[in-house]
Amino acid sequence: MKIAAVQMVSAPEWPANRDAAARLIAQAAAAGAGLVALPEYFCLMGRRDTDKLALAEAAGDGPIQQFLSGQAREHGLWLVGGTLPVRTAQADRVLNRSCVYAPDGSEAAHYDKVHLFAFDNGRESYDEGRTLNAGSTPVALQAGPLRVGLSICYDLRFPELYRALMHPPCDVLVVPAAFTHTTGRAHWELLLRARAVENQCYVLASAQGGTHPNGRRTWGHSMVVDPWGEVLEVCAEGEGVVVAEVDPQRLAQVRLQLPALAHRRL
């Protein structure tokens, strides 16, 4: 199966982001992708942290989720819908949720971001804990022939989450993200390749990549990494689509020649 990472430079306005996502999903489908992943907050990169509260939807219902369902059904593919804000019982808190839709448009799974990003180097300051509630449960699903493990952005720094997804082993780990330019330049590719190598599977990383209207600059470099840690395709900056083939023989070869997953003791 071909898999695709969509890279965006999302704006504060949902309609513009919706139209961009639809155009890029169609591009991925035209390239033959059977599994497509959008980036974190594909639907909104607000001017303030609290902007996501106004766009938040009830679980399982709302314009963003309806759009994602319709796109999966229209193109007949598995769609990892980046992330969107989902309401909680607290008016000032949401979940950062990644919803996965099957080719018939039904929601096949969803995952709530477990690890909440915080960073302050004196020039940039972020704290997702101000508006987000953390999830608690690792989620993997069967997407056609592929077992797919879900994660979001900052999760990438916590290898124990990915280990929890490897029972049984995944074929693909998906990482929708909005890494900052500062942290992405230092660690993005390094961490993606490490997760691929230690789990001996493909990694599909779909990122925000550019300077947004809110002034934030994201790193981009959406990519597909193979089970040996080789970067197969990458989109450096700006809108784009990265497509690569998941080769079951490559997965089997790597796991047979270096059976690290079978050697786990902890």
From 113, 170, 235, 237, the catalytic residue: 113
| Beta carbons of 7 and 209 less than 8 angstroms apart | yes
Does residue 57 have an active-site annotation? no
| Beta carbons of 244 and 2 less than 8 angstroms apart | yes
| Beta carbons of 131 and 92 less than 8 angstroms apart | yes
Does residue 201 have an active-site annotation? no
Q: Which residues pair with 147 in a beta bridge?
A: 142
From 52, 57, 99, 153, the catalytic residue: 153
**Continuous H helices in the chain:** 14-30, 51-55, 63-75, 159-164, 181-199, 248-257
In sequence order, the 6+-apart residues with CB closer than 8 A to the CB of 8 are 17, 20, 21, 24, 38, 39, 42, 208, 209, 239
The sign of the CA dihedral 203, 95, 120, 14 is positive
Does residue 107 have an active-site annotation? no
Catalytic residues: 40, 113, 153
